[in-house]
Structure 1
Amino acid sequence: MANKFSKNSIFYFSILLSTFYFLLSSSALGAELTLKKNLEVVGKGDVFDIVLVIDTEMEVVNAVEASLKYSDNLRIENISDGNSIINLWVSKPAVKNSKNNSIVLSGLIPGGLTIKEGMILTLTFRSLSEGEGYVLVKDAKILRNDSEASETEVVLRNLEFNIESARTQTSGGEKLILDFLPPDAFKIYLSKNKDIFGNAWFISFNAQDKGSGINHYEARERFLGLFGSWKEAESPYQLSHQSLFGIIEVRAVDNVGRERTVTFVPVRLYFLYGGLATLLIGLLIYKFRKFIISHT
């Protein structure tokens, strides 16, 4: 009886272990890249958005590289990386070949990221003619945030849809934007890389604005914290003062003009201030001692 019970226990344990292994392996299919459109029905002449989003499937990833292709009956109107999870573009999203309808992108996420639905970029298209339309991710590479920068498996969910005859109302036209808040707080990252700006110091940044979206960025370097002027900037941004003896500020401006400014102080500037303060205190002590001696 005991032997039979033992055999049954082993049998049920084996089933449980197999089920657990199946669920674990099926959940580790790799990161997903998905294309989604904002219009349920697309008609000829419509202007509409398609977003590329990533689900890292519990993986911590720090780099995304992809090549996209779209059908001949679509024309690209705009490529936006506003509110993107990518902090540093190695190759900013752009049309590589207008004849082949291909778009390429390559970007980094310093420190890595795990996210369920992270927006990478938004593509705005105009439909030119009726028929089958599509936007496809042809090639993609996603790297883990590990010491070897190993590749994770990538699942592609492409987009195919039908373009109908022209409708009486299209998605184009002015939209009323209600945005009462400035862009969210964001961080400035200081980096140096031999493949970017010839190993010069640069900063990267990426702000989010859930209302109207980010319009542009401005940067200012205040040498020794004293002076400097604002300049329109893009991430990554090469620093003018490679000594890093300056306070760095970045301002994000949304599409209704609201602003958010963040500040970054390089560590070596603290050392400079500390050295100057020590020198000044030493000089004051010397002068004070000299004064005391001369009056005794």
Structure 2
Amino acid sequence: MDWIAMKKIIILAIFILGLSGHAQAAQISLEVSNTKISVGDEFLIKIFLDTENEEINAIDLGILYPALLNLQKISKSESGIKLWVNEPNFTKEAIFLGGGVPGGIKGQHILIATIQAQANAVGDGALGLSPASRVLLNDGQGTEAQLTFNNIVFTVLPQKKNQKPEIFETPSRILTKDYSKPRSFEITISNDADIFGGKSFVSFFTNDLGSGIDHYEIKEGDGDYKIARSPYLLSDQELHSVIKIKAVDGSGNHRVVTYPGVFKRLMWWISSIFK
């Protein structure tokens, strides 16, 4: 091999290494509470995001699961995703998660959602990622990050004689009365070209450990409370109205959060005096 040919190979290798060193990537990983379970057992599947030193602002994921499992519910509690374009949902074959974080998010081991499942048949199974899944960078252009995924393999064993299935004591199975309000939360005002045509909207999320969140209500200015889902398109696009979000749990307890805070409302009042 002559020197010119070798030089071309060296330059090409450096170019490729340079590209790989600056790859914009993200990783979706799964953790299960137990990889060996028996028929009838319930277990948790946690879905995490590692942004690989990039800043991410949106996810659109499809998690594939086998017929060995029955999915029971999806929890957003403690999720790093604060704005859900659609409520997390599932079919007989896949789990769908779509949302984002206004302003972006960066970090390792960011919880996206927790899935509660029950084993219903004997066999080996795996959890996979749909090829259509996407993670978008917070670069102002919606650039799609290179996505990697760690598959989880688990085994469902026959239930042993006289063995009781492992069942979680979820709030719906507990008969004690819930007297606690939902957790405190924040109201975020945002606008995004891909949501509501760039108009201003409000996003909110909280959880309730006793009986779970039943619904949310919103009140803009002097209007009445109405049922709302996050994100919610604001009627007052001038953003001069006080916004109240009421989170109501399954037992009727509620918490009201107001936007803006007292100081900004005071400044509004002072400004109105001198108009």
Report what 1:277 is aligned to: 273
Residue 50 to residue 56, structure 1, CA distance change in 2 (3 Å) = same
CA deviation after TM superposition for structure 1 residue 111, in Å: 0.8
CA-based RMSD of the aligned residues comes to 3.8
Report what 1:190 is aligned to: 189
1:125 correspondence with 2:120:
no
**1:218·1:250 contact (CA, 8 Å) conserved in 2?**
yes
1:150 correspondence with 2:157:
no
Report what 2:11 is aligned to: none
Report what 1:202 is aligned to: 201
Report what 1:238 is aligned to: 233
**1:84·1:206 contact (CA, 8 Å) conserved in 2?**
no
Report what 1:57 is aligned to: 52
Inter-partner Cα distance in structure 1 for 2:179 and 2:150: 35
Higher mean C-alpha deviation, range 65-74 or range 145-154: 145-154
TM-score (norm 2): 0.73
Report what 1:136 is aligned to: 128
Secondary structure of 1:246's match? coil
Could you list the runs of 5+ residues in structure 2 that have no partner in the other structure? Answer: 1-13
Secondary structure of 1:149's match? coil
Report what 2:95 is aligned to: 103
CA deviation after TM superposition for structure 1 residue 277, in Å: 0.7
Which residue identity lines up with residue 150 of structure 1 in the other structure? Answer: T
Residue 115 to residue 256, structure 1, CA distance change in 2 (3 Å) = farther
TM-score (norm 1): 0.68
CA deviation after TM superposition for structure 1 residue 203, in Å: 0.5
**2:55·2:105 contact (CA, 8 Å) conserved in 1?**
yes
Secondary structure of 1:166's match? coil
Residue 244 to residue 147, structure 1, CA distance change in 2 (3 Å) = closer
**2:207·2:213 contact (CA, 8 Å) conserved in 1?**
no
Higher mean C-alpha deviation, range 186-195 or range 268-277: 268-277
**2:81·2:112 contact (CA, 8 Å) conserved in 1?**
yes
Could you list the runs of 5+ residues in structure 1 that have no partner in the other structure? Answer: 1-17, 280-296
Inter-partner Cα distance in structure 2 for 1:83 and 1:254: 17
CA deviation after TM superposition for structure 1 residue 245, in Å: 3.5
**1:220·1:228 contact (CA, 8 Å) conserved in 2?**
no
1:84 correspondence with 2:83:
no
Residue 183 to residue 112, structure 1, CA distance change in 2 (3 Å) = farther
Number of positions where the alignment pairs a residue of Structure 1 with one of Structure 2 = 250
Report what 1:215 is aligned to: 213
Inter-partner Cα distance in structure 2 for 1:107 and 1:173: 28
Secondary structure of 1:276's match? helix
1:72 correspondence with 2:67:
yes
Residue 173 to residue 84, structure 1, CA distance change in 2 (3 Å) = closer
**1:30·1:152 contact (CA, 8 Å) conserved in 2?**
yes
**1:46·1:126 contact (CA, 8 Å) conserved in 2?**
yes
CA deviation after TM superposition for structure 1 residue 276, in Å: 3.2
Give % identity: 29
**2:35·2:154 contact (CA, 8 Å) conserved in 1?**
no
Secondary structure of 2:130's match? strand
Which residue identity lines up with residue 108 of structure 2 in the other structure? Answer: K
Greater fraction of residues in helix: 1
Q: Deviations over 1:45-74 (max 9, x none)?
A: 222221211112222111111112111222
Inter-partner Cα distance in structure 2 for 1:213 and 1:149: 37
Report what 1:285 is aligned to: none
